[in-house]
Amino acid sequence: MTKKSRLCLVDGSSYLYRAFHALPSLTSGDGQPTGAIFGVANMVRRMLEHYEPDYVAVVFDAPGKTFRHETYAEYKATRPPMPDELRSQLEPLHELIDAMGLPRLVIEGVEADDVIATLTRQAREAGRPVLISSGDKDLAQLVADGVVLEDTMQDKQYDPGLVEEKFGVGPELVADLLALTGDSSDNIPGVEKVGPKTAAKWLKQYGNLDGVIEHADEIGGKVGDNLRGGLEQLKLSRELVELEDSVELEGGLEALKRGEPDRERMIALLKRFGFSTWLKQYTDDAGDSAASGDELVVETVTTKRQLDALVEALQSADLIAFDTETTSLEPLDADLVGFSFAVEAGKAWYVPLAHADQDNEFSADEAIEALRGIIEDDDRPKVGQHLKYDLNVLERAGIALGGIEHDTMLESYTYHSSGTRHDMDSLATRYLGRQTTSYETVAGKGKKQVTFDQVPVATAAEYAGEDAEVTLALHQHLWPKLEKLEGPSRVYRELEIPLIPVLARMERTGVALDVDVLAAQSAEIEKRLDELVEAAHAAAGQAFNLGSPKQLQEILFEQLGLPVKRKTPKGQPSTAEDVLQELAVEGHELPNLILEHRGLAKLKNTYTDRLPERIHPRTGRVHTHYHQAVAATGRLSSTDPNLQNIPIRTPEGRRIRKAFVAPPGTVLLAADYSQIELRIMAHLSGDERLLAAFAEGEDIHQATAAEVFGLEIDAVDDNQRRAAKAINFGLMYGMSAWGLSRQLELPRNEAQEYIDRYFDRYTGVRDFMQETRERARKQGYVETLFGRRLWADEIRSRNNQRRQAAERAAINAPMQGTAADIIKRAMIDVDAWIQSGDVPAKLVMQVHDELILEVDEGALESVREGVVDRMQHAAELKVELLVEANSGPDWETAH
DNA sequence: CCAGATGA
DNA sequence: TCATCTGG
């Protein structure tokens, strides 16, 4: 008997939704939305290429109710109706699938899942292997020997073993598990507080759902009560998640034989949708259907001849896409394992350098020397994805990456900073509709993960080659779009790209930390925490975990009966700081103890105990990572550790800055922009009063108080100044009366009065804000002074809260974003100055409006002047940019 | 308002 | 995942 060919079942409906949400909203020339059609069709094409099945079915949900709605009226009740933009793509997609020669099934009264279940059962009975392609995890219950579930968008194939790994139970128990946990997208309730972990544990213990129900009495705790209370619903949920595998279908499996594409219809449809690349394939290579096209050939370079040929090819390229493979995501620990290159679509090279199984004619050093001239050449433009990483890795390997011309991560970020992450996988999906091989599929994951040098060369080459080739494709897609936008492309060329080496250097440099200072503080805090716990337990009359907001709620509001001041978004009584403060003022003892405990525990857990763990064993310093494509406003962010939220506002907190030190012979210089965002607001709004106040060098909060309260400037008291400061602060966050009233502990109407008076006095600011709001609504984005575009994604949301949040963000964005642009310019300039000559200083940190440098003692004055001057002249505004710079042996003193 | 880290 | 707290 010959081996029977595989039946491929595609869950069209699940991919339709996912493609619709994951892909940009494409439209064809005549305005027909085509994004979801494109996504699903591409997915199907990839499946066809990969499996070349003779039997296929693309299955869709039928419109209208199903038998599940009769069982359970609430079924899918929380799901919003299908958006028009998606609905209008359904019929054209069906046409396209028909034209591709693929059997399509839409069966009234049942869902796509049930049709797939039925076909799977029939195929198994006929001894035919099955591949189910779906983004819907419910279908995992169908997996068995000979039945694989593939999630194309995640590039995962679930066999029984992987299902067990993912769900904690085998396929036969997946329906039981889903009944217990519920499925929010179908509005099927589960047992409250039971997640996948608990459900899997129970099912293992009692065999199956019936076992769990039988033994419900034995399960203790709150979840046990929840389980017993929900038994009826549980049985119903079980019925709903079970797939129906006896749907009546005409024609049997033979009806699913794949047909030939209808060329005429295909060409007509592809033209209509404007899918030009696909159309071109169709008209170019008439005979060979959709198969060819995005195939990638990766050449593994192992002989000297190949290496020479590669060098030659790179020498004649206008632009080289480049990627490094390494042993670690942490550049400071990463050893080179290989290089990949691409200079045209469909072709890539991989040069293995340190694979366990490699067998090259040349040594790694010989390969590096052969390529060094090209990699280091400033006149050979390169494009990469997140080149800061490669730059640091190469630096460690003694190679100085030159010619950093383009970075696809930054192209995407400056083109549209929000709405998507900017890692390669996200970009390939979003902009190319391509699903790239994940790192996990080549290197394994969890315990089984190996470092890249252990990955066989053959596997590594496919993966690495794809990275370089996709990077090139992304650049070819993104750059023409970005280049057309004058402002964003300027920000990209003049700020983001030049900043790459500056940040790379700062990360490599790191900052010195005095562990003894932190250890001493940790010990002090620990002692005080013990006292506080004891006192709190005494005050509560029982022991409890002070760090648990849940237990705290119980103690405060139920045991002690204190008044509930506010609720969290989820309806729990809030125990947030301001709430506790209010309770403390009312004379309760416990809230104060809690407040102090929380503050100190945070300090210890986040800073004094953790920072020393971050010291790198080789350098003895702390190396943060600056992220250049995360914050929507253009700011940097910092992680591992975050050095941009080191405490300063309280004395105990500020002490932590004592631990950030300069090594002997050097001092720390901390230079920060004073009131930079308000100054930018003065510039952008052109408000006369605000400009005048800055020009006169007045204390800006005092000046604001004088205006708002109608006083002479010298008559302003501390309280009035504090209120004015809160107003100024609030302004930059798009202030609402609600926010200000909370901040100042004032009634709403009084806060509103302050705001009104402010806008009466500062009419330029008022008009500017109104214009900004309108501009955001009209064009969907606002701009910084340097032309960076900041998109207000939800500005037209019908949800009031979301829309208003987007409006506030849009008002804040030009100021925060311009400040970010300015300090980036300053960093580039200061770094260039330091690198150009004998300036004995290093940039070590950036905290949004502050630069911290490590400076040789002897050169302090000249460096201070040089830094301040460059920061002040990073932009020419209608007001002067004021920079304050101080120095000292540690960050606290320097501030 | 924008971020990141922590603990339950 | 949520609440809380740190910074700007």
CATH number at residue A612: 1.20.1060.10
Q: From the alpha carbon of A642, which nucleotide's C1' atom is closest?
A: B4
Determine the protein residue whose CA lies at the shortest distance from the C1' of C8.
Answer: A848
Among residues A682, A628, A686, which one has the least CA distance to residue A821? Answer: A628
Whether the beta carbon of A34 falls within 7 A of nucleic chain B: the reply is no
Whether the beta carbon of A568 falls within 7 A of nucleic chain B: the reply is no
Instruction: Give the count of beta carbons closer than 10 Å to the beta carbon of residue A253.
Output: 17
Q: Which nucleotides of strand B lie within 7 A of protein CB? A: 1-8
Q: Cα A722 vs. chain centroid, distance in angstroms?
A: 37
Q: Give the CA-to-C1' distance from A631 to B4 in angstroms.
A: 11
Residues A330 and A462 in one domain: yes
Residues A718 and A641 in one domain: no
Q: Give the CA-to-C1' distance from A413 to B1 in angstroms.
A: 20
Whether the beta carbon of A763 falls within 7 A of nucleic chain C: the reply is no
Pair A350, A329: CB distance under 8 Å:
no
Q: From the alpha carbon of A849, which nucleotide's C1' atom is closest?
A: C8
Residue A548 tokens read as 């648990």
Q: Residue A649: how many CA atoms within 13 Å on its side-chain side? A: 3
Evaluate whether residue A491 is within a structural domain: no
Instruction: Give the count of beta carbons closer than 10 Å to the beta carbon of residue A392.
Output: 24
Residues A28 and A106 in one domain: yes
Q: Give the CA-to-C1' distance from A894 to C1 in angstroms.
A: 40
Q: From the alpha carbon of A645, which nucleotide's C1' atom is closest?
A: C7
Residues A84 and A230 in one domain: yes
Residues A745 and A806 in one domain: no
Whether the beta carbon of A645 falls within 7 A of nucleic chain B: the reply is yes
Place of tokens 């064993």: A617
**Residues of chain A predicted below pLDDT 70:** 1-4, 22-31, 75-81, 152-155, 184-185, 187, 280, 282-294, 569-571
According to DSSP, residue A53 is labeled: -
Evaluate whether residue A120 is within a structural domain: yes
Residues A645 and A696 in one domain: no
Partnered with residue A352 across adjacent β-strands are A338
Evaluate whether residue A504 is within a structural domain: no
Whether the beta carbon of A152 falls within 7 A of nucleic chain B: the reply is no
Q: Tell me which H or E stretch contains A105.
A: strand A104-106
Q: Which of residues 794-833 of A touch strand B (CB under 7 A)?
A: 805, 808-809, 812, 816
Q: Tell me which H or E stretch contains A783.
A: strand A781-783
Look up the pTM and report it. Answer: 0.71
Whether the beta carbon of A529 falls within 7 A of nucleic chain B: the reply is no
Whether the beta carbon of A619 falls within 7 A of nucleic chain B: the reply is no
Pair A67, A108: CB distance under 8 Å:
no
Q: Give the CA-to-C1' distance from A596 to C4 in angstroms.
A: 14
Residues A678 and A719 in one domain: no
Whether the beta carbon of A599 falls within 7 A of nucleic chain B: the reply is no
According to DSSP, residue A399 is labeled: -
Helices A304-315 and A364-376, axial angle in degrees (round to 10): 10
Evaluate whether residue A107 is within a structural domain: yes
Evaluate whether residue A817 is within a structural domain: yes
Q: Give pLDDT tens digits for A372-425.
A: 999 999 999 999 999 999 999 999 999 999 999 999 999 999 999 988 899 999
Among residues A566, A550, A548, which one has the least CA distance to residue A558? Answer: A550
Q: Which of residues 522-541 of A touch strand C (CB under 7 A)?
A: none
Determine the protein residue whose CA lies at the shortest distance from the C1' of C7.
Answer: A645
**Phi and psi dihedrals of A304, rounded to 5?**
-65, -35
Nearby residues of A178 by Cβ (< 8 Å), 6 or more positions away: A138, A141, A188, A190, A237, A241
Pair A417, A820: CB distance under 8 Å:
no
**DSSP collapsed to 3 states, A632-683:** CCCCCEEECCCCCCCCCCCHHHHHHHHHEECCCCEEEEEEEECCHHHHHHHH
A467: domain CATH number is 3.30.420.10
Q: From the alpha carbon of A733, which nucleotide's C1' atom is closest?
A: B1
**Confidence at residue A284, expressed as pLDDT on a 0 to 100 scale:** 53
Containing structural domain, residue A363: 293-484
Residues A680 and A693 in one domain: no
Q: Give the CA-to-C1' distance from A588 to C5 in angstroms.
A: 22
Pair A517, A645: CB distance under 8 Å:
no
Residues A70 and A133 in one domain: yes
Q: From the alpha carbon of A813, which nucleotide's C1' atom is closest?
A: B1
CA A684/CA A132 separation, integer angstroms: 57
Residues A756 and A795 in one domain: no
Domain end point (choices A761, A795, A818): A761
Q: Which of residues 813-872 of A touch strand C (CB under 7 A)?
A: 816, 847-850
Whether the beta carbon of A222 falls within 7 A of nucleic chain C: the reply is no
Partnered with residue A59 across adjacent β-strands are A11, A105
Evaluate whether residue A143 is within a structural domain: yes
Determine the protein residue whose CA lies at the shortest distance from the C1' of B2.
Answer: A631
Q: Give pLDDT tens digits for A565-609.
A: 777 766 677 788 877 877 777 777 888 888 888 889 999 999 999
Neighbour-count burial for A438-471, b at 16+ CB within 10 Å, e otherwise? ebeebbeeeeeeeebbebebeebbbbbbbbbbbb
Helix residue ranges, H only, A251-407: 263-273, 276-284, 304-315, 364-376, 387-396
Q: Give the CA-to-C1' distance from A392 to C8 in angstroms.
A: 27
Q: Residue A703: how many CA atoms within 13 Å on its side-chain side? A: 16
Whether the beta carbon of A644 falls within 7 A of nucleic chain C: the reply is yes
Whether the beta carbon of A598 falls within 7 A of nucleic chain C: the reply is yes
Q: Give the CA-to-C1' distance from A579 to C3 in angstroms.
A: 13
Residues A672 and A548 in one domain: no
Whether the beta carbon of A196 falls within 7 A of nucleic chain C: the reply is no
Residues A20 and A139 in one domain: yes
**Confidence at residue A289, expressed as pLDDT on a 0 to 100 scale:** 34
- The count of domains in chain A is 5
A15: domain CATH number is 3.40.50.1010
Pair A348, A465: CB distance under 8 Å:
yes
Q: From the alpha carbon of A801, which nucleotide's C1' atom is closest?
A: B1
Domain end point (choices A230, A256, A282): A256
Evaluate whether residue A276 is within a structural domain: no
**Phi and psi dihedrals of A300, rounded to 5?**
-85, 120
Evaluate whether residue A766 is within a structural domain: no
Whether the beta carbon of A630 falls within 7 A of nucleic chain B: the reply is yes
Amino acid at residue number A429: T
A797: domain CATH number is 3.30.70.370
